[in-house]
Each structure stands twice: as structure tokens, then as C-alpha cells.
Amino acid sequence: MLLSRENLSQISASVPVQLPDPSVFELPERILQFGTGVLLRGLCDYFVDKANRQGVFNGRIVVVKSTGTDTSEFDQQDQLFTQAIRGLDENGQPIEEYIVNASISRTLAAPSQWDAIIACASNSDMQIVISNTTEIGIQLDENENLQASPPQSFPGKLTAFLYARWKAFEGAADKGMVIVPTELVPDNGTNLRKIVLELAKRGQLEAEFIQWLGTANSFCNSLVDRIVPGKPNATDQADYEQKLGYQDHLLCVSEVYRLWAIEGDEKVKSVLSFDEADCDETNALGVIIKPDIDRYRELKLRLLNGSHSLTCGLNFLAGKNAVRESMADPVSARYVKELMFEELAPAIPYDIDLETARTYGASLLNRFANPFLEHKLLSITLYYTSKMKTRNVPLLLKHYQQVGTAPERFALGFAAYVLFMKALKEENGKYFGERNGDSYLIQDEPAGWYFEWWNRKGDLSEVLSNQDFWGTDLNALPGFNERVSYYIGKLQESPKAAFEEALA
């Protein structure tokens, strides 16, 4: 039996499952969401569903699928999906919760249903746009065409949508949107606003519209913090479906911890009323809407995401496949702890006391070790280079300001990144590396550059000086080239020996 609205009454599970009240299906569409991924569904849509159950938001989500035209997985299940929340409490006892999320009303494919998406702009109930289009999604497309159906980039699509809204409501000041990007880049809302305004100017749209864009709409910086791995493996999926008594092709698994920090004023807070269902500022849990969220962002971006970027390739090359496997290895676990506590936490480019950073780091170690989550290392390597730039390079630069010498553990992690990018073959524009005789796909835009560099045995200085990659010349950092080069050689000999030397 496949999960669907019709089959809800027939569910007979061996575990408690929170089912939606039938009244939720009559709620108005209030949010336009760009992205179908598990992070949006496992965190943002989770909060909306939770609020709807408590009667404090009362709105549903129209999801935009930007690539491809197949929305059948969502349509066949009437947009329903199950969220399994798994973890351990403070006493080490397992937590297990299952929720059928009914927050999504429709899923529309931008390439084939752009007119239906634009029609949402005329809906007066729709007040919110959220997005997660990966860390390369918030960029200015120099060749964007706002008249296309649809425009190519996410900022282009958003500009076209807001233009349609402006026209539908004749520029009414109270019909602007609250726009909350969740892409993991600093100042995501601020940067998205700049790009949208630039696209409107380049598209020669009316001056009145451009003024409305800047004054009637709120572009909010935001931060999301919840580990929501990709689709469960076949064994785990079968176990979940046996417990639940039905099939669910959209099932997602998340940890218990959840945080969505949004930079906004009281006006924003009144629109994003789903925060009333889950908000605990003392423990940094739930939806937190404040004028300044930099503290939350920096802790998460530098320690959680930063440590992931410096360890994913390293642990993968050492034979691990998931974060929890890495944490089960005493040497790998010690490495990430020392990396966070000794090199990353002191170098956070924000005024956060070291004890606070290390306390947060300690909580991360417990979250990484969650035995119920299979957070695949290869999934973390997606857009590896841009992640390394935004998450880690600022830490490296701050470290040098403070210490002046190469950070050993950081150098090892960076060396593993360079080695991970070593493709041995290219097929139809895709590049494949090799680990222990098995090939793996390198899902990163500079993969072709590295393929050529490795093949001609280029000098590491070319990597470190690439301004497109890092925004600066890392060769200028004393000793960094030498330590990274050393660890590349060491990793090729023995990842275990490289770990041990960095920890010596």
C-alpha cells in the first residue's frame, strides 16, 4: 500500500504514527517553496506541518521543482511524506517519532508548469517564499532572461514571480513577500536581494517595480541546522516500511535537533507565525526570529558544516561511507574533535567566546555519532570546492592572523579534498575518482579543471592560487602549501598514517 490521502484511514503501523487531520487539506496556499530536497522537507516543512497541527499558522506549501518535469513521486502520494525522527536523549535512550507531513499542497515543475507557478503570484494568501537551491543557487546569471518560461536561475525565477505579483496587485505595498532563503551561504537573504534588484535593472523593468521590490518585500538572512540525510538505503527503507505498514517513496529521516534562525523584525515575525509552534531561544531550538542571527550562523557554518567539509573526503578515502562510521572509529572521532576544538573554534570570524564554541562542538560530536542516521560522506562532497571556500577559507585566514603557522589537521583535511578531486576517467562530461578499485562520481564544477591538473602533474601552487576557487591566494599563507603537499603524499601512502601524524 502506497502512502496517499485515500489510504490514510487504512494505515495499521506497529509504531505510533502522527497522521494529519482531514481539515489540513482545506488550508490555503501561503508559501511558495523552491526546492524539493530533504532538508527543506525535514526542517522547514516540518515546522509548517507542526504549526498547522496546532492551528497557529494554517497554510500549505506550493513546491517548485526547478529541474526536470517528473513530479510523479509527489503526485502519487498526494504530496504526503513520512518523517522519521531518530536519535538518543541525554540518557542515551532512543527517541523514535513518525509523522505524516501534509504541509505540501502541490508540486509544480518549473520547465513545464511555469504558468501555474506564476499564477500563484495572484494569490493574496501567499505571503512567503522559501528556498534551498544549494550553495551555488544564489548567484547572478549574466545571461538571465526574465521573459523565459522559466528563467534559468533561481534568482531569475524569483524576480519574474515578484514582477507578476507586483502587476497582479498593482504595486500594493502590503502585497510584498517575506522571502527566506535557506542556502548555506553567509548573508543569503541580503545577497539574494541584491541579485534580484540587479536582474530587475538589467531586465529594464519599471522603476516603480524596482522601488516596490526594495521596500515592500523582506529578504531575510536565515540559517538551518538539522541533519537530514538523503534517501535511506534499501535495507533501512524496507525496515521503516515494515514498521509503518505502507510504502513511502519520499520518506526522510532526521535527527531530533532542529533550528531555523531567521533574521527579521516584528513584521516578519507576524507573517512567519509558524514560529509559535516550536521556539526555544534558551536552548537554540525551533524557529528563532531575531534582528541578528550571526551567532547561530557562525557556530553552525564553521563547526558543523566546516568540519564536515574537512572530514568528508578524508574519511571517504580512508574507507568510510557515512558520518556515523567515521565517529565509530576512535582515530577519526579524535581527529574531528581536535579539529573543531583546537583549530576551528578559536578561528571563528565572529565574536563568540571559545567556551561557547566548544560547548556547541561537543553537542555536534554527539549528533554526528547518531546511530540511526546514515549521512553519506559522498553526499557531503557535493559542490566540494564552493563549500570549502565559504565554510573553511575564512577560518583558515583567521587562524593565520592568530597563529601564523599552518594548522595541521586543517592541512590534512584540505589535502584530502585535493586528492578526492583526482579523477581517473571522464565519461560524457562526468568525472570519476577511484577508491580501493571502485569508482566514485565527483560532483563538483571544477572537476574538469582538476582532471587536467592531475593528468599533467601540475604544481599544488596552481590550486592554492586559484582566485576563482578561493577568492584569495592561499600560497601567501606561510607553510600551508608545504603541509598540504606533504599530506597529499602521506594520504596516497596510508590514510591511517596521515591521521596519526596530524594528531601527533
Residue 320 is predicted with a pLDDT of 97
pLDDT at residue 226 in the model: 95
At 50 the pLDDT is 98
Chain mean pLDDT for the chain: 96
**How much is the pLDDT for 504?**
80
pLDDT of residue 135: 65
Q: What mean pLDDT comes out for the span 461-471? A: 98
Whether 80 has a pLDDT exceeding 70, the answer reads: yes
182 φ/ψ angles, rounded to the nearest 5 degrees: -115, 5
C-alpha cell at 293: 542571527
Q: In what order do the strands lie in the sheet with 430-435?
A: 425-427, 430-435, 438-442
> Which grid coordinates are listed for 3?
502512502
Query: Is the model's pLDDT at 89 over the cut of 70?
Result: yes
Mean pLDDT value of segment 391-407: 97
How far is Cα 153 from Cα 226, in angstroms, rounded to an integer?
Answer: 26
d(CA 307, CA 344): 8
- The C-alpha cell of 466 is what? 586559484
- Alpha helices, H only, 100-206: 110-119, 154-168, 188-202
Residue 178 binned pLDDT confidence (cut-offs 50, 70, 90): very high
- Cell digits of residue 258: 532542529
d(CA 384, CA 392): 11
Tell me the per-residue pLDDT of 322-348, one tens digit each, with 9 for 90 and over. Answer: 999 999 999 999 999 999 999 999 999
The yes-or-no verdict on residue 90 having pLDDT over 80 is: no
pTM summary value: 0.83
Tell me: the pLDDT tens digits for 118-176? 999 999 999 999 999 976 789 999 999 999 999 999 999 999 999 999 999 999 999 99
Q: pLDDT tens-digit profile of 211-221?
A: 999 999 999 99
Query: Over the Cα atoms of the chain, what is R_g?
Result: 23
